[in-house]
Amino acid sequence: MSHESWLELADVYALGTLDGDERRTFETHLATGCAGCGARIRETGETLMHLARTLPPVPAPPAVGERVLAAVSSERRPVGQPEAEATLESRPARARRARHLLWWGGWATALGAAGLLVVVGVSLTQTREELEWLRGRVAVLQDELTEREATLRFLSDPKVRYVSLGGLAASPAASGWLLWNPETRRGLLLTRGLPPAPADRAYELWAIAGSDPVPAGVFGVDQAGRALFRLPALPGGKAFDKFAVTQEPAGGVPKPSGPMHLLGTP
Amino acid sequence: MGQAPGDDSALLVQGVARGDRDALARLYDRFGTLVFTVSLHLLRARAEAEDLLQEVFLQVWRQASAYDPERGSPEAWLLTIARSRGIDKLRSMRRSDERIRPTEDVRPTPDVGVASGADPSEARVTVGGVLASLPDAQRRVLELAYFEGLTLSEIATRLGEPLGTVKTRMRTGLERMRGVLSSASGVARS
């Protein structure tokens, strides 16, 4: 198995979605102390943290905090004996895995006698994996094609309006263009001259109706401050009279909080 | 990783590891809302989410000495614990009795939804931000994994798609998210 394949599994594992034999195989690999996979799981964990931050926050009940503190006040934690570390696998699952390993161990011994069968089996498995991988690639290429076709359809629609966005005090040299279709509520944003955002920040586009800003997507820029970004379909029922770009925490926020870099009126 | 706030929170975790209850209270003040928000989205029932929130911070109290800053920020660590326990709860609820799955949905409606997609349950979990920038098929797979806690094979069954396809969409979606979040990594793709 190539290391790229392990990294693929690391992504899925970090999401908590890996199950069955693949999960067992990956955890065996992880237990060898693979630094690359560990780093990938960490990186994906941080990416997912930004995803969590895009949810509209629901305040934690203070009563729960009080219950936690009351519970720890009456508890003596054994120093130097932490519980098993947080893992995406439950205890029953670990026990099942141990049983499975024993079970498979017996089979492996039996199969060892029939070496040829193993070779054929491995080869078949590899072919199946390759086929699965190719299927996935085709699906993703189809996604991209669908996106490009949607962009072309969007551009050829006569209802599309052109909105010029001007740089504000935070980046006076920046500029942008928004192609906006008020009927389909879709748009395409192009920028240039925006300063590259720090690692934990990104740009967020806002469609503003009166004084009510609606988040319209998060994007990154290249070294020249350029971006080409297709907006998600925005909710209907509002006539947007301004569009703005602000710099926000990397995952995006429900309400603007950072400095405004671009502003324009349809 | 944000150095200043991350370091500060890491100090709080170190305090908890030494048995400092004030540090635990401050950690709760700082991250309780985020943990509760994610718990509520995952479990959909307020009482269950409150239990999960309590369990997460009790686990933090007991395991703080095992936290390794080299392996991620305290925030990401807390969320890993919350999702790990939450997904376990969700799966045992699904296994024991489908009826247990609560019909109440106390999750707040996101401030912006992505209007595409005919499935109302899909619209309910759709959020703005970086996820909204992904192609619909990749976004749907990540939503089912992250917000519904489904496994790869459950997602494949739900969508009626081959496992490999779901896996590749998931990874491509994550890659694109990483691309946006790391910024300056190239022109954002349309």
Whole-angstrom CA distances from A188 to A103, A175, A185, A193, B103 are: 56, 14, 11, 17, 38
CB contacts < 8 A, A to B, total 312
- Write the DSSP symbol of residue B65: G
Chain A partners within 8 Å of B53 (Cβ): 60-61, 64
Supply the pLDDT for residue B100: 44
Supply the pLDDT for residue B115: 34
- On whether any CB of chain A is under 8 Å from the CB of B59, the answer is yes
Q: How confident is the model at residue B118 (pLDDT cuts 50, 70, 90)?
A: very low
- On whether any CB of chain A is under 8 Å from the CB of B40, the answer is yes
Ranges of each domain in chain A: 1-53+89-104, 114-156, 161-264
| Helices A115-155 and B163-181: angle between axes, nearest 10 degrees | 60
Burial bucket for residue B185 (CB in 10 Å: 0-12, 13-18, 19+): middle
Q: How confident is the model at residue A54 (pLDDT cuts 50, 70, 90)?
A: confident
| CB burial string B153-177: b at 16+ within 10 A, e below | ebbbeebebebbbbbbbbbbbbebb
- Decide if domain A1-53+89-104 falls under CATH 1.10.3430: no
A5: closest CA of chain B, how far (Å): 11
Q: Are A213 and A244 in contact (CB under 8 A)?
A: yes
Q: Is the model more confident about A28 or about A111? A: A28
> In this predicted complex, what is the ipTM?
0.76
Q: How far apart are CA A218 and CA B127, in angstroms?
A: 12
pTM: 0.65
Chain B partners within 8 Å of A144 (Cβ): 135
Residue A212 pairs in a beta bridge with: A209
Whole-angstrom CA distances from A167 to A41, A177, A182, B5, B73 are: 38, 11, 23, 30, 34
| Residue-range domains of chain B with CATH | 3-100 (1.10.1740.10), 120-181 (1.10.10.10)
Ranges A23-32, A68-77, B103-112, most confident? A23-32
For all residues of chain A together, what is the average pLDDT?
81
Most B CBs within 10 Å: which of A4, A8, A15, as the mutation test of the B interface?
Answer: A15
Q: Are B156 and B162 in contact (CB under 8 A)?
A: yes
> Which region among A15-24, A111-120, B1-10, B73-82 has the lowest average model confidence (pLDDT)?
B1-10
Least CB–CB distance from B190: residue in A75, A215, A228: A228
> Which region among A9-13, A111-115, A217-221, A249-253 has the lowest average model confidence (pLDDT)?
A111-115
Chain B partners within 8 Å of A75 (Cβ): 61
pLDDT at B98 over 80: no
Fold of the A161-264 domain: Immunoglobulin-like (2.60.40)
